[in-house]
Structure 1
Amino acid sequence: MSTTIDARGLSCPQPVLLTLDEIKKGAESEIIVMVDTDTSKENVSRAAQSQGCTVTGVKPDGEGYQICITRG
C-alpha cells in the first residue's frame, strides 16, 4: 500500500515538509509525491534520501513529476 502526497502548486519548502511529515509517520512503505517544478523534485528527493529512504523512480506526470519513495 502507498500514500500519495499532491504537492503540485506548492512552493518550497512545503513539498519537502509534507514529505518529511509522511516519512516520520512511518505508516506506509511507499510514498508517492507529486510536484510540478524541477526544484521541488530535487529537494524532495534529497530530503527523502537524507532520512534513509530510497527514491525508486521519478516519472514525468503531465506538467510535473511523480516521485516514488520507499523506506529502508
Structure 2
Amino acid sequence: MSNIVDARGLSCPQPVLLTLNEMKKINKGEIIILVDTDTSKENVSRAATTQGWNVKSVEPEGIGYRITVSKD
C-alpha cells in the first residue's frame, strides 16, 4: 500500500518538506505525492532523486500532478 502526501494548494517549500518528512518516516516503499504546480512537481521530483528515491511516474491529475516515488 502506498503512502499519500497531499500537497495541493501549498506553495514551495511545503510540498518538498512534507515529502521529505514522509520519506524519513517510512524509509522505503512507495509514496504518492499530489501537487498542483509545475514548480512543486519539479522540486519534489528533484528532492526525491537527491534522497535516493526513484521517480516511477509523473502523471497529470485534475489540475495538478500525481508523482509516484519508490525506494527498496
The answer, yes or no, to whether TM exceeds 0.5 is yes
Q: Distance in 1 between matches of 2:53 and 2:27?
A: 14
Q: Which runs of 5+ in 1 are unaligned?
A: none
Q: Which residue matches 1:42?
A: 42
1:70 aligns with 2:70: yes
1:1-72 superposed matches below 5 A: 1-26=1-26, 29-72=29-72
Q: Distance in 2 between matches of 1:27 and 1:69?
A: 12
Deviations 1:6-58 (A, max 9, x none): 10000000000000000011266000000000000000000000110000000
The percentage of aligned residue pairs carrying the same residue is 64
RMSD between aligned alpha carbons?
Answer: 1.1
- Under a length normalisation based on structure 1, what TM-score does the superposition of the two structures give? 0.95
Stretches of 4+ moved more than 3 A in 1? Answer: none
Q: Which runs of 5+ in 2 are unaligned?
A: none
- Under a length normalisation based on structure 2, what TM-score does the superposition of the two structures give? 0.95
